[in-house]
Structure formats: structure tokens, C-alpha cells
Amino acid sequence: MIKIGILGDIGSGKSFVAKNFGYPVFNADYEVYKLYKKDKKIFNKLKKKLPKHISLFPIDKKQIFNAILANKSNLKKIVKVVHQQIGKKMRLFLNKNKNKKIVILDIPLLLENKINSKRDILIFIDSKKSDILKRLKNRKNYNQKILNKFKKIQLPLDYKRKKSQFIIKNKFTKKSVKLSIKNILKEIL
């Protein structure tokens, strides 16, 4: 099985590109969303660590954002609780798809949390800053302060770009992304 890790800036279109490969995708952001909505154990762990901020189940992003904005160490506490569960979910995903030729890992902190192995293929999604900002501002829960906090726990984009074997210039059109993917698949298969 070939594991492809998708790297890039917040809002660069990593999930958009990942979906267009046509192979099973592990989307960590979606898995976190499901944990907040359905996992009572995660709720109880977060409530215990952050009682001033996490009080209602299902957990909504507002509670998470307020906790992060209140104290910079809260983001690390949240990541620590959630990361373990996401790791388990990823192992289940990989086990379920072990007979697939390729799987896609859409995990924002892939390198930061040392989830990838040396054999994995890394693809950096390169998008114009203006396109990224426009897309982020259209998100329902857009908050520049939260974005800045998340960026602080991420490795520099230049480092991610250098670590990647391929770069996809994302112009946010399906046609250009599909063509880039086709060329990459030709090279790795």
C-alpha cells in the first residue's frame, strides 16, 4: 500500500485535492468533528481538562475556540486528548484499507505529530495567499486569532514544501487538480 500525505497551508485546499485522487481518504479534520459530535468519552476528558470552556455535549467549535483564545496552553491540551483518538481511527482506517493500492492521509499535523513514515509520499498543496484568505473568510467559523494559534503549532510551509516529493499548484479548479494528480500517479505507480 502506498500512503500519500497531503501537506499545505490552512485553507490551501488539501481536502479538495485529497478527494480528487479517487482513493480512500483519511480526513483527520472530519474525524475530529465526529469526535466532538458523538464521542462522550472525549467530551468528558476535555471537560475535565477545560471545565471553564467545555460544558455542553455535543461540543461545538465555539467552546473549542473560546478555550483556545482564553489560554495558549489549552490548544495543546485539546490536541493531546484528541490526537490519541485520531491515531486509533487512522490505524483502523489503514487496517480496513490494507489491500488498497493507495490511501490518502489528509492530516493537518502529519509531520508535526510524526505520523508519516519515510516511505510515504508527501504532496504539498501550493495555493495563492489571496485565494486562501478569500476561502477562509467564507468559512462559517472564520476567526483570524484562532488561525494564527493553529499556525503557531505547525511547521513552516517552506519546510513542508522541501519535505514533499511533489507540489500541486491548486487553482481550485477540478480540471487542473485532476491533471496534476494524473501526472503524479503516472510517476508513482
How is the chain split into domains, by residue range? 1-24+101-189, 28-96
Q: What is the pLDDT of residue 138?
A: 87
| Residue tagged 487538480 (cell numbers) | 177
Helix, strand, coil content of the chain in percent (nearest 5) = 55, 15, 35
* pLDDT band at residue 173 using 50, 70 and 90 as cut-offs: confident
Q: What is the pLDDT of residue 148?
A: 85
132 vs 171: CA distance, rounded Å: 10
Would the pLDDT of 180 be above 90?
yes
Q: Where are the beta strands (DSSP E) in the chain?
A: 2-8, 25-27, 102-106, 121-126, 166-169
pTM: 0.90
Architecture of the 1-24+101-189 domain: 3-Layer(aba) Sandwich (3.40)
Across residues 133-157, what is the average pLDDT?
85
| Percent of the chain whose predicted confidence (pLDDT) is above 90 | 71
